[in-house]
Amino acid sequence: MVSLTKFEDLSFFDNLALYHLGKEVPPNVIAQAMLKGEPKTSSAFLSSIDSSKREEIYRLMAQEKDSNEEQKDAAISGILLIAENLISKNVIVKKGKYYFGV
């Protein structure tokens, strides 16, 4: 089984893999993770999400910018678990060090 250990691991996901992940993760979880996640990875993830959900995420990010670090860490862990679940279901496949949406 693949083990994603940090938010930056998502930088190895192609746009379709990030799209699938964005469909599965609730907006409030994405918002929390974006507040702490590495900016380049966060930007790539947000750009792969449909525009209406992305607008909701931006709104939630503004509301929750003062949330505690434990909530942000939990959100990142949740996203990584959902990503691993999608990998185990072959919605996302790993080829070498990269991940591709199917």
50-80 pLDDT, tens digit each: 999 999 999 999 998 888 899 999 999 999 9
21-53 pLDDT, tens digit each: 999 999 999 999 999 999 999 999 999 999 999
Place of tokens 């860490």: 73
Strand partners, 92: 101
Three-state DSSP class for residue 99:
strand
Q: Are 13 and 99 in contact (CB under 8 A)?
A: yes
Rounded to whole angstroms, the Cα distance separating 34 from 65 reads 10
- Please, what are the domains in the chain? 11-97 (1.10.220.30)
Q: Which of 65, 83, 66 is nearest to 24 (CA)?
A: 83
Phi, psi at residue 95, to the nearest 5°?
Answer: -130, 110
Please state the pTM of the whole predicted model.
Answer: 0.91
